A and B are shown apart, each in its own frame.
Chain A
Amino acid sequence: MSEQNRTESEPGTAGPIIAIENLGKKFVVGKTEVYALRNISLTIEKGEIFGIIGRSGAGKSTLVRCINMLEPPTEGRVLFEGRDMGALSKAELNIVRRSMGMIFQQFNLLMQRTALDNVCFPLELSGMSRETARKRAMEMLDLVGLSARAKAYPSQLSGGQKQRVAIARALAPSPKALLCDEATSALDPETTDSILALIRQINREMGITAVVITHEMDVIEKICHKVAIISKGVIAETGRVNQVFFHPKSDIARRLVVPEALHPDKMVVDHLYRLIFDGQSSYEPVLANLILACGQPVNVMYASTRDIGGTAFGQMVLQFPDDPAARQKILDYAAENLIYIEEFSRV
């Protein structure tokens, strides 16, 4: 578990880099119109890691493709550094796209090129000389820890290594933003962690804004500063990650912060409460104190430690007694002692 402090430099003070305004994306299937996205408005500040989470089919991949116009939106607009992406000519768009690197779930490396030549690719596109491009590409491979495999073809690399090459390739033209479309979804948990650490390192050291698309709350909790929850093509909730984690406002957010087995439709017991404590209070026996002080038994349904932005947070799902007076006693005790508890069964 990381010991980093929450007070590390707060990004997002330098102004927005990406502004999405009332964006909509309509597909025409046969004679019916289907909205993949509707009324999306988001502001992504310079230097932050912005997570967009949703289930498959929620529209998150379409949304990230609207940012660089791989999928032109049918409504609203996307501003990148204040420029309307939809109003650019094809040639202008291609130049602006060089300031936005993108990485993908399936890595999308050129299979007939070596790792080094893959990283050279975007540099060749902008007309950089072969020698300069190779030098820059080597630096990038070095940054992602793969300079030893420069001459390897993608088929000779593991999934994690391929994603590192893809990251090096995305960073080679010195972009201002990095769009990550389910970048860790094809990787095992350990490799996922190392790729996430790399994205965070890039964000910190190079100041590159990252937009992270994922269906895993873990990914959001580990590296994102802010999160937007997208469901059925609309934004259900958006805010700072710890804020959404502590006080989820939407049903979908409440479902995302606990494992699926605890979702209300799967739990038959009543009087469930969610208790959250941060790194400080985890040094105290919070639950034991609560039980001793109230003299009421509680049943622990679920407990875990989450790593949110590098800080440990604990959360528990508890079943309280049936007696309303007993429950109130516990809630009063919690309020007095600044323990955050919210009712869970009414989701």
Chain B
Amino acid sequence: MFNEALVELLWEGTVDTIYMTLVSTFFSYVFGMVMAMVLVITRSDGIRPQPVVFRVLDVLVNLTRSFPFLILMIAVIPFTRWVVGTTIGNNATVVPLVIAAAPFVARLIEQSLLEVDKGVIEAAQSMGASTWQILWKVYLPEARPSLINGSAIAATTILGYSAMSGAVGGGGLGKLAIMYGYNRYQTDIMFATVVLLIVIVQVLQSFGDWATRKSDKRNG
């Protein structure tokens, strides 16, 4: 059923999907982390309350999150062209993926950071820790297991988004599924892409779970 050319196609699709997912997850994490840190320290009970900054960023994150990904992808096409010079292919997909995923990741990280015991933050303040020191030496290390877990969730969500991008010029398994499975009724290829996506998600999630457990020192 699968000739060599098809296997080659599926392999390329898999590599492209993993590439897009990892690169997008990385950038979403970088931007999401900055947003989450600002949200956590500027909230009313944070270590540097700034109600205006908090409100603006909070609304911005919600706005971006309420955009359906398919529409967002099309809406940011001019911006994508400006950043990577093209609107098709893997790198072009990364731009809308990061725009869509960063606010989501920001919320995930925000939740993880808010789980850190308030008492520990207070203890650090009582020892004369600065805002930066509390972020780097308390919030991030104390939230580490939860952050790792969140990054696995983020990666699987971004993987799902990346498949959707096949509809408007993105690459990877999503493109294969739409081109062959949808436009040419080749259900076997459709089926193969689904199986591959499931495997990738499983691997990501299992690795995330394992790394979370491994890094958590709270369970003795």
Q: List residues of chain A with CB under 8 Å of any chain B CB.
A: 68, 70, 90-91, 93-98, 100-102, 104, 106, 108-113, 121-122, 124-126, 153, 155-156, 166, 169-170, 173, 179
Contact B217–A97 (Cβ < 8 Å): no
Given contacts A70-B126, A91-B130, A125-B133, 17 further A-B contacts (CB under 8 A): A95-B128, A98-B127, A100-B126, A101-B127, A108-B117, A109-B120, A109-B123, A112-B217, A112-B218, A121-B137, A122-B128, A125-B124, A125-B127, A155-B217, A155-B218, A155-B220, A173-B127
Q: What are 11 contact pairs spanning A and B, CB under 8 A?
A: A91-B130, A100-B126, A102-B126, A102-B127, A106-B119, A108-B122, A112-B215, A153-B217, A153-B220, A155-B218, A179-B126
- Residue of A94, A121, A124, A169 near B130 (CB, 8 A) is A94
Nearest first, the 6 closest Cβ-Cβ pairs linking A and B are A97-B128, A94-B128, A108-B123, A102-B126, A108-B119, A122-B127
**How many residues on chain B are close to A (CB under 8 Å)?**
25
- Interface residue? B16 (CB, 8 A): no
Output the least CB separation between B218 and chain A (Å): 5
Q: Are A102 and B137 in contact (CB under 8 A)?
A: no
Measured CB to CB, the closest approach of chain A to B119, in angstroms, equals: 4
Whether A111 contacts B217 by the Cβ 8 Å rule is yes
Contact B123 A102 (CB under 8 A): yes
Contacts of A70 in B (CB 8 A): 122, 125-126
Residues of B within 8 A of A (CB): 117, 119-120, 122-130, 133, 137-138, 141-142, 144-145, 215-220
Q: What's the minimum C-beta distance from A49 to chain B, rounded to whole angstroms?
A: 19
Question: What's the nearest-Cβ distance from chain A to residue B10, in Å?
Answer: 41
Complex CA distance for A156 and B141, rounded to whole angstroms: 18
Residues from chain A with Cβ under 8 Å of B215 in the complex = 112
CA distance A130 to B128 in the complex (A): 18
B129 to chain A, nearest CB (A): 5
- A121 x B125 contact (CB < 8 A): no
Q: Which of B127, B133, B137, B145 is close to A97, meaning CB atoms less than 8 Å apart?
A: B127
Interface centre among A96, A110, A166 (most CB of B within 10 A): A110
